[in-house]
Amino acid sequence: MQALTAAKKHQQAQVQMNPISILIVEGNPSFLRVETFFFQRQCHPETVIVGTAVRGEEALALAKALQPAVILFDLSVGGCGG
């Protein structure tokens, strides 16, 4: 039982040290605000939104600079040719 508790504490410590970074890319600014609000309020504390973008070029620059663990990308975003 103690080993299980120690393993759980170790896992929690790793999450606190390395939060899951998220970049949200959404072509509709209104929906981007709603989506960002939702993630900030409803997601687990170990997730953090590191950036948002409404255009493809901006998203690529942010992805390169921030290197998020997860990118939520609206496939209809403009500025991302083939």
Taken in order of first residue, the domains within the chain and their CATH numbers are 19-82 (3.40.50.2300)
What DSSP element (H or E) covers 42? Answer: helix 29-42
Task: With a cut of 70, say whether residue 9 has pLDDT above it.
Answer: no
Calculate mean pLDDT across residues 37-59.
90
What pLDDT band is residue 79 in, cutting at 50, 70 and 90?
Answer: confident
Calculate mean pLDDT across residues 1-8.
61
Task: Report pTM.
Answer: 0.74
Task: With a cut of 90, say whether residue 45 has pLDDT above it.
Answer: no
Backbone φ/ψ region at 80: left (φ over 0), alpha (ψ -120 to 50), beta: beta
Percent of all residues in the chain with a pLDDT value above 90, rounded to a whole number: 56
Which tokens belong to 73? 């990308």
